[in-house]
Structure 1
Amino acid sequence: MVIFTEEILNQKSHMLELLKVLRDAMNHEFRGFYLDYQPQVNGRTKALTGVEALVRFCDEKGNRISPVEFIPVMEKEGMIYEMGRWVLRQAIRDAGEWIRIKPDFDISVNASALEMMNDQYIEDVEKILEEEKFPAKNLVIELTESSAVQRMDIFRNKYKKLREMGIRIAMDDFGTGYSSLEFLKNAPIDLVKIDRSFLKDILYSRFDSAFITFIVEICHDVNIKVCQEGVETLEEYEMLKKMELDCIQGYYFGKPMSKNAIRNKISAECQTEGND
């Protein structure tokens, strides 16, 4: 027997209202949706090398709604694929300006398992790249480890096709799933992003330090690059510097920011390099 308390009814009412707001936004060309970008830097030089696109939403009343709240709703209601296409197009449209300043700049875009399962996914990615005249070599598709591992047999061919187009494949949240090393052995990927959980205790945990060093070494042996997520302090970065990570991402190097702020950072770095 289920007892519908006032709290449950309020939650259901809130979810129905959120669903209505999200559908209305999508029907008006994704009104209220926007992207922020978190910087990714070279592990040795700290030079800006790319960004990860992060979707945001603000309703007409000015209330910012967390992705943790709206993304599950969109997945449940079958809206996530359409939003994923919008995110990809918007991200590479913004990045088109950045790569004119810095040609080797990377844009990372997340893809959920539900998106990858769509029969049109590969065709739509290729179409968007062609329409926006964006070079595939500057695009990184990020997959969460859980979805990548659990659906390897289904997605292996799609990973292969994306890489044949010149797109790189990254596995996000590495280390949180039980099949991590098996995935490294069998998956056609180019980059692993080590989860923040292996960094937060690095200053006093020999295991965490050894784990990151081990993953970097084994990945580099098979030509897979490694990025550490969630770096928040100078002390953490100082510990990581000697581990030969390819890139680092975290609040220490910049919180998610607007496309104009990213453009200004790229321009400033390029100008500094030109003056050296």
Structure 2
Amino acid sequence: MTDMGKGSLRGICVVGLNYTDQLLIAGGDGPVQALRVAVRALLEDGFGAAQVRQTMPCGAIILRLQDAPRDVLLDRVRATLAQVPECRKRVGSIDYATTAHAGIVWTEGGTDTEELTRIASAACAAANIRGLDLVEYDSVDHPHLQADILSARLLADALSAMRDRRLVLYAQQIVDIDETSPVLQYEVLVKMRDRAGREHSPSAFLPLAERTGMICLMDGWIIREAILGHAEALVRMEHIHISLNMSGRTLSSPGFWREIETILTQTGIAPARIQFEITETSAIYDLPRAKENVQAFRRMGCSVALDDFGAGLSGFSYLTDLDVNCVKIDGGLVANVVYPQRRELKIVEALVSLCSDLGLDVVGEHVSSPQIFDILRDLGVTKMQGYSIGESVPYETIFVPRGEVRRTGSAPA
């Protein structure tokens, strides 16, 4: 199906309705279907009935954009989205209404309509995930589009990647500035290897996994692989401690602590050697259950760290509600402590003082230069992590005996 030869097609727009799940719960299928019909009529009024192509199985509506300059068409789309809440439908005594989001891909020709529709659907999904009214791609080669498509493909392949062991564990050292400490602590990281053998960083798939719930399966796999998959080496090398990331979704899972208790009992690994990192920017969906899990981890003897502290608005609330014993200061704050005129230095100084008063360990993340290392050390930060201190390495290599393990107790040269 190729319509590009007509020369007047400028783009494809896919329009989706917001919070349809909630509408279904509140009023059943009737209000949702009525609103879709009303929004389709609104699009037909604004663009012409011939330009509204069809409704997709997910309920999104496909709209052809043509016969006008691009900026005019874009303004028309934005104006139409703003009118969607006016498409109210009364059922009984209730007026149901919704809002909408859309994705657009613009073209100069050469791509068939089916492919353009797929790309516009990706833009529409991106708008929904990011909470935006509209996402547009300038072309089929737009870098953000390619990143969104890659994320979708990696997420779709995640279960197979776990089964085929194409999730690959890495480790980055968390360095204690106390050179006399016998402990080597590592944060466990993960990359995904695609079917062609290319490795992709966690930023390519973890954010989407967080939003879809796939992260719970991935968290469980990573924890089991890091502990059970290397139990013999962990038991043998007691000086190695590991820090494992745990999403807010996983932390909200009822009784998740029992799985951890079973793993530690089965392996005989001392719980004090295990730390769980809770990302501050990751939504905790069930705080009472999260508190139950954290309290159970702490009773076992595990450490619990609040990761990316200072990156979001929930950090102090989590610090109050969750029994953490460590805080990892967000790298965005750490990176700017070298600029005295900026606020970040004072913020980090205040956070370190607060954590000291509360008896919490403090880790400086993303330490990218000797200057940052020195400033954090002078502020009282006792543990550091970052590529200027140590690159991430394949996880299994941290268990390889070495004649002399490199320790970093002072600022790297």
State the TM-score bracket (shorter-chain normalisation). Answer: 0.7 to 0.9
Residues 24 and 148 of structure 1: is their aligned pair in 2 closer, same or farther, counting only changes over 3 Å?
A: closer
Compute the displacement of 1:38 (Å).
0.8
Structure 2 matches for 1:21-170, cutoff 5 A? 21-26=157-162, 29-45=163-179, 49-75=184-210, 78-92=213-227, 93-94=229-230, 97-98=233-234, 100-101=236-237, 103-147=238-282, 152-170=287-305
User: Partner amino acid for 2:120?
Assistant: I
Q: How far apart, CA to CA, are the structure 1 residues paired with 2:249 and 2:198?
A: 27
TM-score scaled to structure 1, two decimals?
A: 0.83
Residues 13 and 190 of structure 1: is their aligned pair in 2 closer, same or farther, counting only changes over 3 Å?
A: closer
Q: Contact conserved, 2:193 with 2:200, CA < 8 A, in 1?
A: yes
Which of the numbers 388, 399, 408 marks the counterpart of 1:252?
388
Q: How far apart, CA to CA, are the structure 2 residues paired with 1:180 and 1:18?
A: 30
Residues 195 and 118 of structure 1: is their aligned pair in 2 closer, same or farther, counting only changes over 3 Å?
A: same
Q: Secondary structure at the match of 1:213?
A: helix
Q: Contact conserved, 1:227 with 1:249, CA < 8 A, in 2?
A: yes
Compute the displacement of 1:51 (Å).
0.7
Q: Which runs of 5+ in 1 are unaligned?
A: 272-276
Compute the displacement of 1:109 (Å).
0.4
Which of the numbers 347, 357, 377 marks the counterpart of 1:221?
357
User: Partner amino acid for 2:349?
Assistant: T
2:373 matched residue in structure 1 = 237
Compute the displacement of 1:234 (Å).
1.1
Q: Secondary structure at the match of 2:404?
A: helix
Could you say what the CA RMSD is over the residues aligned between the two structures, in angstroms?
3.0
1:8 matched residue in structure 2 = 120
Residues 164 and 235 of structure 1: is their aligned pair in 2 closer, same or farther, counting only changes over 3 Å?
A: same
What whole-Å deviation, never above 9, does each CA across 1:127-156 have from its counterpart, x for those lacking one? 222223322110001001134777544422
Q: Secondary structure at the match of 1:197?
A: helix
Q: Secondary structure at the match of 2:172?
A: strand
User: Partner amino acid for 2:161?
Assistant: A
Q: Which runs of 5+ in 2 are unaligned?
A: 1-13, 16-62, 64-103, 106-115, 123-144, 408-413
Structure ID, larger Rg: 2
Residues 71 and 43 of structure 1: is their aligned pair in 2 closer, same or farther, counting only changes over 3 Å?
A: same
Count of residues in correspondence between the two structures = 268
What whole-Å deviation, never above 9, does each CA across 1:168-210 have from its counterpart, x for those lacking one? 1100010122243344344311100000111212112253233
TM-score scaled to structure 2, two decimals?
A: 0.58
Residues 46 and 177 of structure 1: is their aligned pair in 2 closer, same or farther, counting only changes over 3 Å?
A: farther
Compute the displacement of 1:160 (Å).
0.8
Residues 81 and 181 of structure 1: is their aligned pair in 2 closer, same or farther, counting only changes over 3 Å?
A: closer
